[in-house]
Amino acid sequence: MKLRPLSDRLIIKAANKEEMTKSGIILPDTVDKERPEQGEVIAVGPGKMLDNGSRAPMDVKVGDKVVFKKYSPDEIKIDDQEYLVVAASDVMAVLES
């Protein structure tokens, strides 16, 4: 199934946050189950409709790694895969390598 976000929404796959202890033990992200704050954009909406009838361009594109507000995303589950739906205004930065 393919997700197509509307308006200025993004579909994001949360980044796995594995942490390593000082002794080398890897702690998976399920240990503390905090809400994610980073992820990869997998779908982008067409942009917000402006008063003049045109659409505002989106600042991010598919494949971008982004940082977003911790409590802003809505969580959805499709075909046993979890995704986050985030408004473009809740994205704070694009991670560049």
The pair of three-digit structure tokens given for residue 42, joined into one six-digit string: 């997998």
What are the boundaries of each domain within the chain? 9-95
Assigned CATH for 9-95: 2.30.33.40
Helix/strand/coil (H/E/C) assignment for every residue in 48-82: CECCCCCECCCCCCCCCEEEECCCCCEEEEECCEE
88/36 Cα distance (integer angstroms) = 16
pLDDT band at 34 (very low <50, low <70, confident <90, very high): low
pLDDT tens digits, 3-23: 899 999 999 998 876 555 667
Contact in structure between 17 and 29 (CB atoms under 8 Å): yes
